[in-house]
Amino acid sequence: MNLYPLKFEPLYKYRIWGGNKLKSVLNKNYTEENIGESWEISDVEGEETIVLNGDLKGFTLKELIQKFKGDFIGNNVYKHFGEDFPLLIKFIDAKTPLSIQVHPSNELAKERHNSFGKNEMWYIMQADENAELIAGFNKKVDKKTYLNHLKNSTVVDVLNVEKVKKGDTFYIPTGRVHAIGAGVLLAEIQQTSDITYRIYDYDRIDAKTGKKRELHNELAIDVIDYDVYDNYKTLYSTKKNISNTLVHAPYFKTNIIFLEGVLDKDYTKTDSFIIYICVDGELEITCKNDMYSLKKGETILIPASIKTVQLNSKAATILEVSL
């Protein structure tokens, strides 16, 4: 069996805050209510996505890595991560706000949960009028002040709130307190981890359990970065038909391509798989004389052994992700 561009069967996740935009905006196919997340490419244990197309249909990421090793994920990636696929790709639809939360670093996540940390980034695909999110603090606080705010349910007062619109991008390193607000649909790229410390959840009751969701403030307190930063939003170039740098972090590299017409991509110098996430429009990908379509809300993985592809579209916006 040879490697080729791979699509995966998404996993749909009920969330207390989930809406219906994954279906109405991204044409996802499910029947449940309150679906908040579509896990597009996942190697989280027990939550593995499987290949949807071609001869390798039904394979999980782990099985693909076991079979193809560096040809699938890149030799250096294989050397570093072995059979663990390092990234988790999602679409998220927040009908109501997510809990205010924070993620632990690689070191703490390894020590406490035998997991990767959870550095992540968000690309806003659609936002209702006046939609917003939380990223970091709006003033410097110490642990004592923070704990007082937590006790009095006023923690939102010291957090940085950003109005958002389509195209806005945020990098959320571990330690940064954050929350997606109501009315936001986004693409999320993150390390393979499902470790979240919930700080504040607006005293909501989960209709499925009849209870409030668990908070993790004792775990979170030593994880939080209490510093204030000048800018939480990522600025980027919007030139057409090139890979514009979006977020280049130690854990993943994401570029954005504004595609019009034909673009030949050469990955000869890239020792990594490539993931394309279509966040607007649609395109065709030609690879070894075969053609693959990619529409808004779809994701495809180009194995590391494939070094040239051709992209073609009247107009599409794509996130290009690698390690």
| Domain range 244-322, CATH class | mainly beta
Evaluate if residue 28 carries a pLDDT over 90: yes
Residue 40 vs residues 13, 57, 97, 134: alpha-carbon distances, Å: 11, 15, 22, 24
Provide the CA 263 distance to its chain's centre, in angstroms: 25
| Residue 198 annotated as catalytic | yes
pLDDT digits (tens, 9 = 90+) for 124-135: 999 999 999 999
| Domain-wise residue ranges, the chain | 11-220, 244-322
Task: Assess contact for 173 and 119: CB atoms under 8 A.
Answer: yes
Residue at 115: amino acid letter? S
Supply 67's token pair: 């079979």
Supply 74's token pair: 């890149």
Helix or strand holding residue 78 (H, E): helix 75-81
Q: Do 244-322 and 11-220 have the same topology in CATH?
A: yes
Instruction: Name the pLDDT band for 268 (thresholds 50, 70, 90).
Output: very high
Evaluate if residue 106 carries a pLDDT over 90: no
pLDDT digits (tens, 9 = 90+) for 36-77: 999 999 999 999 999 999 999 999 999 999 999 999 999 999
Q: Could you say which of 15, 112, 198, 213 is catalytic? A: 198
Residues placed in the known binding site for Zn(2+): 103, 120, 178
Residue 257 to residue 273: CA distance in whole angstroms: 17
Residue at 295: amino acid letter? K
Evaluate if residue 224 carries a pLDDT over 90: yes
Q: Tell me which DSSP letter residue 234 carries.
A: P
pLDDT digits (tens, 9 = 90+) for 159-212: 999 999 999 999 999 999 999 999 999 999 999 988 899 999 988 888 889 999
Residues facing 265 on adjacent strands: 309
Structurally, at CATH architecture level, domain 11-220 sits in Sandwich (2.60)
Residue at 37: amino acid letter? E
pLDDT digits (tens, 9 = 90+) for 272-285: 999 999 999 999 99
